[in-house]
Amino acid sequence: MRHKIQDHVVIVNGSYKWKTNNGSVVNYSTQQVWRDLKSNRSKVEWHHVIWFKGLKPKHAFILWLATLHRFNTQDRMQSWMPHMQMICPLCEKTNDSVNHLFFQCDYSGFNRLVLAACVYFIWQERNARLFRHQKKAATKVGEDVQNYIRWKLLSLKVKNSSAVKKVAELWNLKWVDNRFKFV
């Protein structure tokens, strides 16, 4: 941080003062420091994709970290402990990394399924509105996504695990004979 604030800190009559971005010299305050340092950052044009009303802040924060590849996945920790083997704790097949976790791991296939379904149904709704002048409420599109995921889950044959039971509960399904069933 020293290089970011060195031009802002000045000494006036033996006291430390803060030189704002517009050149005014003021008493130090964390609020002014925040304003000046925040305005120096480059704006991310796609921030609204992650930071929007209605999304839980902790979900948005985790998504932001994932987008910026800032998770401390084991591939990043490898430099601290080069002698340790860092295997994905979910699939236990290969090295842990952000790319593996969200795009290659067998365990996260469910998350990709939900993402892909959301993208598909939103794209379909967009096209229906543009080209057929048909509109569905957002809640109906959400129901379409949920129904698609439920039907997709019903077609899967899976092994018994705590993750499978959690998915069944989340999607209001039962797990019977290595298959999901409607409750």
Whether residue 137 is contained in a domain is answered as no
Range of 35's domain? 2-39
Least confident segment among 22-26, 54-58, 126-130: 54-58
Angle 47-62-102 from CA coordinates, rounded to 5°: 100
Whether residue 54 is contained in a domain is answered as no
Give the pLDDT confidence of 70-94 residue by residue, as tens digits. Answer: 777 777 777 777 787 778 887 888 8
Q: How far apart are CA 69 and CA 63, in angstroms?
A: 10
Whether residue 76 is contained in a domain is answered as no
Q: How far apart are CA 59 and CA 8, in angstroms?
A: 35
**For the chain, how many structural domains are there in total?**
1
Whether residue 8 is contained in a domain is answered as yes
Whether residue 67 is contained in a domain is answered as no
Give the pLDDT confidence of 102-155 residue by residue, as tens digits. Answer: 778 877 766 777 877 888 899 899 999 999 999 999 999 999 998 888 888 777
Whether residue 154 is contained in a domain is answered as no
Whether residue 26 is contained in a domain is answered as yes
Whether residue 133 is contained in a domain is answered as no
